[in-house]
Amino acid sequence: MRFATYEHHGRRRVGVVEEDGTLFPLPGVTSLEALLAETDGLGGLLAAGAVAHDVPPGPHLTEVRLLPPLRPASVRDFVTFEEHVEGVRRSVDGTAGVPEQWYAAPTFYFTNPHAIYGPHDDIPVPPGSCVLDFELEVGAVVGRTGHDLTPERARDHIVGYTVFNDWSARDLQSAEMKVGLGPCKGKDTATTLGPWLVTADELEPHRDADGFLRLALTAEVNGQVVGEDLLSHMSWTFEEMTAYASRGTRVVAGDVLGSGTCGNGGCLAELWGRRGTQDPPPLKAGDTVSLTVEGIGTLTNTVVPGVAPVPLPSGRRRSRERA
């Protein structure tokens, strides 16, 4: 099933999306994250979706505004594609290769759950940035609470998948990560999710013998293809990522785990690192980015001007004197 959150005649609804684009609204449901918390896993979500077909069909996709499929409880963004690491590392900090420590565990950072945009929303340029980039990813959505999971158990905690665009201000990112923390403001302005949540069972036919989902990924800027890859080029499965995320803590319904950016043009910075020049150029107001994942759907967002940064002073250099 495909679950979409949408706005129709000023009302927010959650519905099941049919192949012809017809929406079947779930009675009384206005939040997918609340539904996930109530249904506790894939079986419950599918049962809730089946109820939608007991009521008259709702509007067509062309008659609604699609919203982000959910407002995540948290967003962990991983980095699981070697090719991406290699290219971006060269672009952002001028270092070649993949650090050996990267292979030890599926590293992630927490990004901003309060800056989630829908599949067709305009995306503002981050304040103070001149080097904006997209990042093509897939997000796994957690449907039930778990802690210290094994990968085998983690599979029962993933209810579905969505397309994930981790918008990145590369100039801000490069500067702030020299401090040894971050990324922070380089990733803080926008993350796009959508166009809907596709339940995990729908993608099982794409699973290969090693447990990876073999899905084609395509990135376009202004109608020109700039990147193509396979999701199965990840170095860890989503189940392994979920297990790692739950280690010593917990994952909960509504958490989103990003795959990390794919290789072969999954973002501009990787191409810049390989080519030694900013070709294609950084995104600017008026550019349109379309990211497509086989079996899930397409995000299409247009960049618009952002706001100027609010001025702040530089850090004060303080005396080391002690009383």
DSSP string, 104-142: GS--EEEE-TT-EE-TT--EEPPTT-S-EE--EEEEEEE
Alpha-carbon distance 77 to 93, whole Å? 20
Summarised one tens digit per residue, pLDDT across range 203-230 is 999 999 999 999 999 999 999 999 999 9
Residue 20 has pLDDT above 80, yes or no: yes
Alpha-carbon distance 81 to 87, whole Å? 10
Alpha-carbon distance 293 to 62, whole Å? 20
Nearest to 301 by CA among 178, 158, 101, 164: 164
Summarised one tens digit per residue, pLDDT across range 161-185 is 999 999 999 999 989 988 988 899 9
Alpha-carbon distance 16 to 216, whole Å? 24
At residue 93 the predicted structure's pLDDT band, cuts being 50, 70 and 90, is confident
Summarised one tens digit per residue, pLDDT across range 65-92 is 999 999 999 999 999 999 999 988 887 7
User: In the 8-state DSSP scheme, what is residue 102?
Assistant: G
Query: Are the beta carbons of 135 and 166 closer than 8 angstroms?
Result: yes
Question: Where in the chain do CATH 3.90.850.10 domains reside?
Answer: 75-304
Alpha-carbon distance 246 to 149, whole Å? 6
**Residue for token pair 């963004």:** 77
Classify 75-304 by CATH class: alpha beta
Summarised one tens digit per residue, pLDDT across range 129-142 is 999 999 999 999 99
User: In the 8-state DSSP scheme, what is residue 40?
Assistant: -
At residue 157 the predicted structure's pLDDT band, cuts being 50, 70 and 90, is very high
Q: Interior CA angle at 245 toward 35 and 188, to 5°? A: 75
At residue 202 the predicted structure's pLDDT band, cuts being 50, 70 and 90, is very high
User: In the 8-state DSSP scheme, what is residue 319?
Assistant: -
Summarised one tens digit per residue, pLDDT across range 50-71 is 999 888 999 999 999 999 999 9
Query: Are the beta carbons of 304 and 123 closer than 8 angstroms?
Result: yes
- The widest CA-to-CA distance across the chain, in whole angstroms, is 75
Instruction: Please list the alpha-helical segments (H only) found in the chain.
Output: 32-39, 42-52, 82-93, 151-154, 170-176, 200-203, 238-245, 268-275
Query: Are the beta carbons of 213 and 204 closer than 8 angstroms?
Result: no
Count of C-beta atoms within a 10 Å radius of residue 231: 26
Residues 6+ apart with CB under 8 A from 263: 81, 82, 83, 84, 87, 229, 233, 270
